[in-house]
Structure 1
Amino acid sequence: MYAIVDIETTGSHSHNNGLTEIAIVLHDGEKVEHVFETLINPGVPIPKYISYLTGITENMVADAPPFSDVAYKIFTLLHGRVFVAHNVNFDYSFIKDHLRQCGYEWQPKKLCTLRLSKKAFPGLPKYGLGSICDALSIQIENRHRAGGDAGATAKLFELILQKGGEKLVLETLKRENREQMLPPHMPAEQVNNLPYVPGVYYFHDNKGKVIYVGKAKNLKKRVVSHFTGLNTGKKRQDFLRDIHSVTFTECATEFTASIFESIEIKRLWPIYNISQKTFQQRFGIYSFLDSRGYMRLAIDKKRKYLEPELSFSLLTDANRTLWKMVKTFNLHPALCFLDQSIAVDEDECPPYSYNERVEYALNEMKSQMGSYAIMEPCDFFKETSCVLVENGRFYGMGLIPRYVDNLEIDAVKEHLVQYPENEVITSLIRGFAIKNPERILPF
């Protein structure tokens, strides 16, 4: 009925790591039926710190069978039984991965004694195997060896059954094993209470610090999707192990959730958000007065504390725009750092009149970038979602009443929250506007 398992390994994830020992305790819910235990040659070196922890050395496993030699035996013992372990997903990921490599597909129901212990024995300070066994006076023989830990887990499982009976186990299995997919430290009720609406979610570590920010069309489905799948790589295992809680912010639409996700990533800089941390060089056309009183225009890389007159993702776009301004508004190429071979004659091009042309050119270019609102109906709110772009720059977003008499830009702003712009948001808005022209309200 149950297979209570513990393994010892060469590392914390199954990718490029191997098993050094496995113990399987077959249990009928009342008593132990059979015990299987064996050392395994992992096929890779055993790190020294692992040997210090477990006592298993490379000499001990030199003559032990490789996993492939015992795979059929392990599969036979586990097949058709509920898989039980303390922090079940760790043992499960290793065994499933190794069985798959040997040609065995294994998809058991799972029970986690760590999670069950939290329900059966609430209020304990820690629920690691050593800590809870100390609290419940369960003696562990050969700690950090598969046989000793599996035997202690079996005794713990018996106490859980005695404390909550089979009802607790059946209720856990009835939830289609979903709770077992969760990270070991994640409270199930937090996931159960997630709404089915668009929004941004935050994964926190054991100190409450945000370690990942994501966006969702459906918060509950998206969060749960992080814990499914067969990826047993180190990065994913470390990620799941670090998650201790989840919080969320509801958003009006999936589009506004995408924008808010980028805002929050830039604000919080979570350790596991990689893609939006990649440095994205942008360029700007900057203006300044030189020593002769000329207003100069220059293309430069975007600077952190200096706001450009116009912004561009590509250097070629900035060059093209500046040359267009020179030709359209009769600006001087040398004063725009485009062609230094042409001398500036102050008599023919006095600073005061030239500067007026520069200011006029900048105003015209900014006005051509446009001001508009992206209006979306909301499935879960009575108001209309609004994202405002002013003079080509993202201003902010929020909800406005569906029926308003005045849709002038200043009236719309009263309903919005202003946010900082970044490269990702600019790209999101541009892409959405192209694909959804019917959502655009020009000003």
Structure 2
Amino acid sequence: MYAIIDLETTGGQPTQDRITEIAIFIHDGEQVIDQYETLLNPGRPIPFFISQLTGINDDMVRDAPKFHEVARKIVEMTEGCVFVAHNVRFDYSFMKKEFADLGYNYSRKTLCTVRLSRSLIPGQPSYSLGKLCQNIGIPLNNRHRAAGDAEATAILFDRLLKITQQSESLTQPGISPADTLAAVDAVAPSGRQPKAAKQPSPKRVTAVQEAIKTALLPPNITPEKVASLPQEAGVYYFYNEEGEVIYVGKSINIYKRIQQHFAVDYKSRKSLEFKNSISDITWHLTGSELVALLYESDEIKRLKPLYNRAQRRSVFPAGIFLRTDENGYLRLYYGRADDHAESHPLIALGNQFKAKGFLFHKVSKFGLCQKLCDLYKTQGSCFDYQVHRCKGACVGLEPPEEYNKRVEEAIESFTFEHGSFVVIGKGRREDEKSIVLVENGRYLGFGYVDGEFSARRIGDFKDAITRYNDNKDVQQIIRQYLRTPHKDKVKIFR
């Protein structure tokens, strides 16, 4: 059984928008046997541009039921059914969110008719519902209304089922691919000729079953492509249909990370568009997690992928900042980078918890004042002064000149602990090692050497690396990596 569903909403983000109309067509594999449609009161104004698109306005939904009033009907009607929609992740994400707000976990197998259409009716100029229906002769009345779109999707789904039945019956011994093509084309006429169906194996699963299994994948990404992904460290690239890189990522296990990309419920129309635009995936193995981090950073700066731009601002969302107070004392403090956009952090860190811990460590190591570092809120002296660990800057007993010297020493320690060093880590093969080289506090690049390679001079490592640009981001990446548990060897040069 299949529940073919279309929703109209107040916008494209399930986290904040609501459903304004729902239509459900129940298909038993042969025909539509039941249907349900209703407007819904979203409990909030419908934006003007949405009303322009759908024709649904506030007056129309004012007396309509709210979602909780029809929730039981939806659950009972779709029980045991596959949730079918055109761009199914959009409709399914909205449905799950509405039920989640009621404290109910709505879970159904899903099938995307975009993905199934690409598989069974290849070569179409567009797979949007409107253009696809136009190209293959499916009537689409009341576009952008739930019942109209759901009815068209039901007709499309019925046609796709017939294509699978025809191709499976015709691709038997004695039936030629040309006969199969003719039958398929008779069911699904289009401006472009679909390719002849491939001969299936006796154990072949149907295209519909395969579409259900792969519903989480982008429409243009095949299960074979996902299966070919390496379970190793490296950098991966998502491409659109024009061959442009639209996203660069990194992981210690490329296969698992990309599976996570595809498994999430999408929170906005933009994130759904991102997923649906992925048409190919490539990767570059690095062996080392640190090299993957550094190479990803360089590739994002070089390629400027569309869907990485916003992300780069949040890689290190917290940091340590510096200001001078009215008494001339240098004051270190931690905070969110977004809250201090007018100043750059002296060092950026992964989150505020790490930033606070980092600052506590520096206060202890350099004898700084907890109060002047915003770690001890008080009108009087800090706790360390009371136990004789603070020299009294918090109450003006230590002159600013003397206190500020230690603050400057602490700031100098924010750079690498050692000026010149090599991080030696895992290579791409068993007989290989990765190397990341820093000289006099400047990142030079990374490379690979034979597993038996040994060197006494830093110059020996220089010949083995590819040079990359030093910048604030890679400095932060190396610092943060070295502060976390790792199995790499750090070779220090004095």
Structure 1, unmatched stretches of 5+, are 284-311, 322-338, 340-365
In the aligned structure 2, how far is the partner of 1:8 from the partner of 1:153?
Answer: 14
User: What is the aligned counterpart of 1:275 among 308, 314, 317?
Assistant: 314
* 1:155 is aligned to 2:155: yes
Q: Specify the alignment match of 1:47 in structure 2.
A: 47
- Corresponding residue number in structure 2 for 1:402: 451
CA shift at 1:224, angstroms? Answer: 1.7
Residues 1:153 and 1:159: Cα distance change in structure 2 (over 3 Å) = same
Look up the SS of the partner of 1:201 in the other structure: strand
Question: Once the two structures are aligned, what percentage of the paired residues are identical?
Answer: 40
Q: Which amino acid aligns with 1:155?
A: I
| Equivalent position of 2:466 in the other structure | 417
CA distances 1:23-71 after superposition (whole Å, capped 9, x unpaired): 1101110011101111111111112222222222222111111111111
Structure 1 139/177 Cα, relative in aligned 2: closer, same or farther at 3 Å? closer
Shift of 1:416: 0.9
Letter in 1 for 2:290: F
| 1:256 equivalenced with 2:291 (yes/no) | yes
**CA deviation after TM superposition for structure 1 residue 410, in Å:** 2.4
Contact 1:389–1:395 (CA under 8 A) maintained in structure 2: yes
CA distance in 1, matches of 2:13, 2:69: 21
Task: Give the partner amino acid of 2:158.
Answer: E
Query: Structure 2 matches for 1:213-362, cutoff 5 A?
Result: 213-230=248-265, 232-233=267-268, 236-237=271-272, 239-240=274-275, 243-269=278-304, 270-273=308-311, 274-276=313-315, 313=347
Aligned counterparts of 1:91 and 1:52: Cα–Cα separation in 2? 20
CA deviation vs aligned residue, 1:379-438 (integer Å, no higher than 9, x gap): 645311111111222111111011236553223222210111222322333344455597
Residue 112 of structure 2 aligns with which residue? 112
Question: Is the alpha carbon distance of 1:5 and 1:212 closer, same or farther for their aligned partners in structure 2, counting shifts above 3 Å?
Answer: same
TM-align CA RMSD? 3.4
Aligned residue for 1:75? 75
When structure 1 is superposed on structure 2, of 271-280 and 216-225 the one drifting more is 271-280
- SS at 2:158 equivalent: helix
Contact kept in structure 2, 1:11 and 1:18, CA below 8 Å: yes
Amino acid at match of 2:72: Y
When residues 182 and 153 of structure 1 are mapped into structure 2, their CA distance, relative to the original with a 3 A threshold, is same
Q: Is this contact kept in 2: 1:79–1:106, CA < 8 A?
A: no
Aligned to 2:426: 377
Distance 1:267 1:399 in 2: 22
Do the aligned residues in 2 keep the contact of 1:27 with 1:33 (CA within 8 Å)? Answer: yes
CA offsets per residue over residues 298-353 of structure 1, 9 Å max, x none?
xxxxxxxxxxxxxx749x99xxx9xxxxxxxxxxxxxxxxx9xxxxxxxxxxxxxx
Report the equivalent of 1:355.
none
Give 2:478's match in structure 1, choosing from 429, 432, 441.
Answer: 429
Name the CA distance, whole Å, in 2 between partners of 1:173 and 1:107: 19
The answer on whether the counterparts of 2:111 and 2:211 sit within 8 Å (CA) in structure 1 is no
TM-score, normalization: structure 1?
0.73
Offset of 1:127 from its aligned partner?
Answer: 0.5
Distance 1:129 1:120 in 2: 15
Instruction: Give the 3 Å change call, closer, same or farther, for CA 279–262 of structure 1 in structure 2.
Output: farther
Q: What does residue range 184-199 of structure 1 map to in structure 2 within 5 Å?
A: 184=219, 189-199=224-234
Residue 439 (structure 1) aligns with: 489
Q: Distance in 2 between matches of 1:383 and 1:214?
A: 23
| Equivalent pair of 1:6/1:23 in contact (CA under 8 Å) | yes
CA distance in 1, matches of 2:315, 2:416: 30
Larger radius of gyration: 1
Q: TM-score, normalised by structure 2?
A: 0.66
The unaligned stretches of length 5 or more in structure 2 are: 169-199, 323-345, 349-358, 367-400, 402-414
User: 2:491, 2:321 → 1: CA distance?
Assistant: 28
**CA-CA distance at 1:262 after TM superposition:** 2.1
Q: Tell me which amino acid in the other structure corresponds to 2:310.
A: Y
Q: Distance in 1 between matches of 2:292 and 2:479?
A: 16
1:306 corresponding residue in structure 2: none
Where do residues 40-189 of structure 1 align in structure 2 (5 Å cutoff)?
A: 40-165=40-165, 177=212, 179-184=214-219, 189=224
Change (3 A) 1:408 1:22: same
Shift of 1:175: 6.2
On the 8 A contact 1:215/1:258 being kept in 2, the answer is: yes
